[in-house]
Amino acid sequence: MTRIPKTEITGVYGAVLKRFTRKMFGEVPEPLAVMWHHRPALNASLTLGRRAAKWNRCDKDLKSYAHMAAASLIGCSFCLDLGYFQARNEGLDMTKAREVPRWRESEVFTPLERDVLEYAEAMSQTPPTVTDELSARLLTQLGAPALIELTSWIAFANQAARTNFALGIEAQGFAAACGLPPLARPGHVPSQA
């Protein structure tokens, strides 16, 4: 149950938004019906998301893992659910995607991926715990443009995850609708499907 009740998505723009999201996800994501109460805030978030999706200086797989790591740390079940669904549809390594919430115990990630996951979590802490050493390693491995993009991507992931968490928006079953196994949890090894 969301902390702010969902509202009817109406009007021409609402009809287009519902049609587009149903085509992408099979149904209308719950955050849209909650955020519809304040369309300028919703539009700002959607606009930033569309623009960020066009960025191409950092590997998209690294950004997906980082987004999922931030969502997992913050506790946004909706973001993980949707992220897992999108990871499958975008051809991401599903073994790795499943392991993101427990990446420290997992052996499937490369050293670069581990640094990215650590960076995403460090940025998502309150206060942030990013170190000079971690930043320097990532700068060497990725270069300045990709590291700036990754940093901005994680900041956007934090905005979305913290907004959904605060509004009480939870997993909607996107991953389950595709017949995907549940996500890993810290300290838990999921069964292979």
Give the sign of the dihedral formed by CA 70, CA 149, CA 33, CA 179.
Answer: negative
Residue entry with tokens 């849209």: 32
Consecutive H or E run containing 11: helix 11-25
Write down the pLDDT at residue 90: 87
Kindly report which listed range (5-9, 31-35, 37-41, 77-81) carries the lowest average pLDDT score: 77-81
Q: How far apart are CA 109 and CA 112, in angstroms?
A: 8
Residue 59: φ, ψ to 5°:
-55, 130
Mean pLDDT, rounded, for 67-82:
94
Q: Quick check: 74 pLDDT over 70?
A: yes
Write down the pLDDT at residue 191: 45
pLDDT band at 181 (very low <50, low <70, confident <90, very high): low
Write down the pLDDT at residue 178: 67
Q: Quick check: 190 pLDDT over 60?
A: no
Domain boundaries along the sequence of the chain: 57-177
Q: How far apart are CA 100 and CA 61, in angstroms?
A: 12
Kindly report which listed range (36-40, 42-46, 88-92, 111-115) carries the lowest average pLDDT score: 88-92
Task: Please give the model's pTM, rounded to 2 decimal places.
Answer: 0.91
CATH topology of domain 57-177: AhpD-like (1.20.1290)
Q: For the chain, what is the mean pLDDT?
A: 92
57-73 CB burial, b ≥16 within 10 A, e <16: ebbebbbbbbbbbbbbb
Residue 186 DSSP symbol:
T
Burial of 160 (0-12, 13-18, 19+ CB in 10 A): buried
Q: Quick check: 163 pLDDT over 60?
A: yes
pLDDT tens digit sequence for 106-157: 999 999 999 999 999 999 999 999 999 999 999 999 999 999 999 999 999 9
Q: Look at residues 171, 187, 193, 141 and name the one whose alpha carbon lies nearest to residue 68.
A: 171
Write down the pLDDT at residue 116: 98
Write down the pLDDT at residue 84: 87
Q: Quick check: 63 pLDDT over 90?
A: yes
Residue 105 DSSP symbol:
T
